[in-house]
Amino acid sequence: MSISELSLRYGTNPHQTPARVFIEPGQLPIQVLGGAPGYINLLDALNGWQLVRELKRATGLPAATSFKHVSPAGAAVAVPLDETLRRAYFIGEQELSPLAAAYARARGADRVASFGDFVALSDTVDVPTAQVLRREVSDGIIAPGYDPEALAVLAKKHGGKYIILQVDAAYEPPAIERREVFGITFEQRRNDASIGPDILRDRVTADTSLTPDAERDMMVALITLKYTQSNSVGLARDGQMIGIGAGQQSRILCTRLACSKADHWHLRQHPSVLDLPFAEKPPRPERDNAIDLYLGDQPSPDEEAAWLKSFRRLPQRLSAEEKSAWREGLHGVTLGSDGFIPFRDNIDRAAQSGVAYVVQPGHSLRDPDVIAACNEYGMVMAFTGLRLFHH
């Protein structure tokens, strides 16, 4: 049933009442099939839907994103998972449809950050995707449709309170968007910039060769950053984001955060992590947290006590040398930036995380320094001329 207004329990925080979403004129392009969405849920849902819709249009592949607090924790298109990623993402032997593979990749980028995510999917939800999602701690989902069997699976989550939204895939918003801050209305043209292969033509480094996979990953990175709180930098590989640095005040902080997340994603695939002696079937969040502690710095006594309960026996930690050696195996990564890269320190840090391709707006005063740094590392860099700030 189409409606023009939806009342919400509260706004961003519980004390912010009353709250609602509405559209004038016309009908809301979403239907609530399950649960009761909140204010932040809908912000995540509508931003996430735009992201996967654009990824599908740009790549032709089913797309998924895992959203948390109005930024993606992960995003991906449908690329099959190898055995290592199946183990790292806790997929096991389950058969994956293309859409299910996309969501497994989006969720696997940063499993701790994705705890309690809001999922957006570009295609009609099938049973394999619902089965992957059934096991994860998630607040809700938005998609253009649901197979009846898949809807039945999702309707059982959270004791029947899982938020299930169906979006009208044909809906297009007005060209002008508005928001109110402190009683003042802001108005602008919405960010309807199209991102596709044509945007990658201005290649400014000595090496200008891009593989089809690199082009795909550049589009994945740019479209993801288009819906990530700025400043933002993201790293992509094999059709998925593997590290997103969002909402930082300087570009180098974005880069350090994104690269550290990508390093962690890669370390999760180390044989010692895949073979950790977990206790019998610990809950997935406990496994994720235990892996984070295993790969992190020395935990506090309380953290270590909780950590030890996750294992049958005490695992041998990886040394700094072992971690460093494993990180050197990360290659072929694409770095995207929502604003121009102002200093070469971003490139120096990116090189440590296997970045081979860079895509950014360009046109900084220090472009020659940044280009020279890319040439030193043998990277290919494309200028888009398109800033993608999102606030």
Q: Does the pLDDT at position 308 exceed 90?
A: no
* CA 319 to the chain's CA centroid: 29
Q: Does the pLDDT at position 3 exceed 90?
A: no
Measure the CA–CA gap between 47 and 50, rounded to whole angstroms.
5
| pLDDT tens-digit series, residues 56-89 | 999 999 999 999 999 999 999 999 999 999 999 9
Of 69, 158, 323, 375, which is the active-site residue? Answer: 69
Q: Is 68 a catalytic residue?
A: yes
Report pLDDT for 255.
98
Tell me which fold the domain 276-317 belongs to.
Helix Hairpins (1.10.287)
Superfamily holding 5-167: AICAR transformylase, duplication domain (3.40.140.20)
Q: What are the beta bridge partners of residue 333?
A: 355
Token look-up 């069997």 returns 149
User: Do 5-167 and 194-267+327-383 have matching folds?
Assistant: yes
Return the structure tokens found at 368.
Answer: 């020659």
The fraction of the chain above a pLDDT of 70, given in percent, is: 99
Q: How far is CA 255 from CA 28, 70, 75, 236, 383, in A?
A: 38, 19, 18, 13, 17
Q: Is 261 a catalytic residue?
A: no
Q: What are the beta bridge partners of residue 155?
A: none
* CA 310 to the chain's CA centroid: 27
pLDDT tier at 1 (50, 70, 90 boundaries)? low
Report pLDDT for 305.
75
Of 41, 47, 226, 231, which is the active-site residue? Answer: 231
Q: Is 56 a catalytic residue?
A: no
Measure the CA–CA gap between 137 and 115, rounded to whole angstroms.
6
Each domain of the chain, given as residue ranges in start order, spans 5-167, 194-267+327-383, 276-317
Largest alpha-carbon pair distance within the chain?
Answer: 62
Least confident of 1-5, 190-194, 198-202, 358-362: 1-5
Q: Does the pLDDT at position 52 exceed 70?
A: yes
Token look-up 């819906």 returns 227
Among left, alpha and beta (phi > 0; psi -120 to 50; other), residue 198 is alpha
Phi, psi of 278 (to 5 degrees): -65, 150
Of 56, 68, 157, 270, which is the active-site residue? Answer: 68
* Cβ-based burial of 310 (10 A; exposed 0-12, middle 13-18, buried ≥19): buried
Q: Do 311 and 289 form a contact (C-beta atoms < 8 A)?
A: no
Q: Is 231 a catalytic residue?
A: yes
Q: Does the pLDDT at position 347 exceed 80?
A: yes
Q: pTM score, two decimals?
A: 0.95
Measure the CA–CA gap between 367 and 311, rounded to whole angstroms.
50
Give the helix, strand, coil percentages of the chain, each rounded to 5.
35, 25, 40
Architecture of the domain whose range is 194-267+327-383? 3-Layer(aba) Sandwich (3.40)
